[in-house]
Amino acid sequence: MIILKLGGSVITDKNSLTAKLDFDNLNRIAVEISNYLKSYDSKLIIIHGAGSFGHPPAKKYKIGEKFNLSNYQKKRIGFSQTQLAVKTLNSQVLNVLIKNNIPAVSIQTSSILTTNNKRIDSFNIDLVNKYLDEGYVPVLYGDVAIDKSLKMAVVSGDQIITYLGKYLNPDKIILASDVDGVYNKNPKTNSDAKLFKCLSSLKDLEQFDSTTNIDVTGGMIGKIRELLELSKEGVDSFVINANTKNNIFNILNDDEVNGTLITNKCNK
C-alpha cells in the first residue's frame, strides 16, 4: 500500500491570496498516477494539501487558536468557510483524477476524525480500509476538525500521513512538494541551500525559515516534523519534487528519483 501526499504548493498556486487551482500540474500528476495504476494493482491512498484554498480562511479566522466564547459564532463561520474552501478544492481534484480513470473516492477529513489540542484523537480508519479493499483510491485532505480542548483546529495532510502511516503499515510514503526535497535552508530564498539525501533529525535544519507566510500548519518544517515523528515508529518516507515531470510515476514505480529519504537510520 502506498500513501501519496500532494502538497498544496503543487496543486494550487500557494502564493495567491485567493483560491487558485494549478490545473496543468494536477492533470499531469493525475496522468502519471493513472499510468502507474494501469500496470500495477497496488493499493493507494492520496492525501492533498489545502494550498491557497484552505490556508487564507484558516489564517483569517485564526482556526486552532484559543478564543473567547463570546466570539464563537464568528469562529463557527470561519470553520464553515474553511471547510467549504477545502471541500471545493477536493471536488476539483476528484474531478481530474476520475477523468483520468482513477477510481478516486472523497473522504471528508472533518467528517471522519476529531482532534484534541490539534492532534488527531479519533479516526474512523475502518472506512478507509473498506474502500481500499474494494479497489478504490481514497482521497483525504488537509481540513478543519472539531477539537476536544480548542473547539476547532486545522489538521494538515501531513498529520493525516503520520496517523495513517502508524496504523496502516504502508510500503511507501511519498510527500510530493514543489522543491527537490529537504534542504538545510529554504532553497527558494538561499541559492547555497544544500539538499539532504537522507534526514533523521530536525537539528540539521536550524536555519530553516518557513516557505510561505500564509501557511498555518508550519510550512516545510511542519511537514518534516510529522515525517520525522513517523520515522521514529520505523516508517520511512520520501520527499520529492512533483513539479519535475515523471517524478511521481518514477517513485511509484520504484525507479530512482532525486529527493530526500526521511528515516531514523541514515548512514552518516
| Residues forming the site for ligand IPE (CB under 6 A) | 7-8, 49-51, 54-55, 58, 82, 86, 142-144, 154, 156-158, 215-217
Residue whose CB is less far from ligand IPE, 157 or 181: 157
Give the containing element (helix H, strand E) for 158: helix 157-168
Distance of closest approach, residue 43 Cβ to ligand IPE, in angstroms: 21
Distance of closest approach, residue 5 Cβ to ligand IPE, in angstroms: 7
- Report which of 229, 252, 248 is spatially closest to residue 240, judged by C-alpha positions: 248
What residues pair up with 113 in beta bridges, in sequence order?
Answer: 123
Residue whose CB is less far from ligand IPE, 85 or 251: 85
User: Are 266 and 199 a contacting pair, CB within 8 Å?
Assistant: yes
Residue whose CB is less far from ligand IPE, 51 or 170: 51
Distance of closest approach, residue 59 Cβ to ligand IPE, in angstroms: 8
Set of cell numbers at residue 4: 501519496
Distance of closest approach, residue 143 Cβ to ligand IPE, in angstroms: 6
CB atoms within 10 A of CB 225: 16
Distance of closest approach, residue 86 Cβ to ligand IPE, in angstroms: 5
Distances, alpha carbon 202 to alpha carbons 22, 92, 186, 208, 229, in Å: 31, 35, 14, 10, 10
Distance of closest approach, residue 44 Cβ to ligand IPE, in angstroms: 18
Annotated binding site for substrate: 50, 55, 157
Q: ∠ at Cα 216 (218, 181), nearest 5°?
A: 40
Angle of helix 125-133 versus helix 157-168 axis, rounded to 10:
70
Length of the chain (residues): 268
Residue whose CB is less far from ligand IPE, 121 or 253: 121
Q: ∠ at Cα 143 (232, 30), nearest 5°?
A: 85
Residue whose CB is less far from ligand IPE, 70 or 189: 189
Annotated binding site for ATP: 5-9, 51, 178, 183-188, 219, 223
Distances, alpha carbon 116 to alpha carbons 8, 149, 206, in Å: 24, 6, 28
Distance of closest approach, residue 129 Cβ to ligand IPE, in angstroms: 22
Residue whose CB is less far from ligand IPE, 39 or 51: 51
Annotated binding site: 5-9, 50-51, 55, 157, 178, 183-188, 219, 223
Residue whose CB is less far from ligand IPE, 54 or 165: 54
103-138 burial string, b = 16+ CB within 10 Å, else e? ebeebebbebbebeebebbebeeeebeebbeeebbb
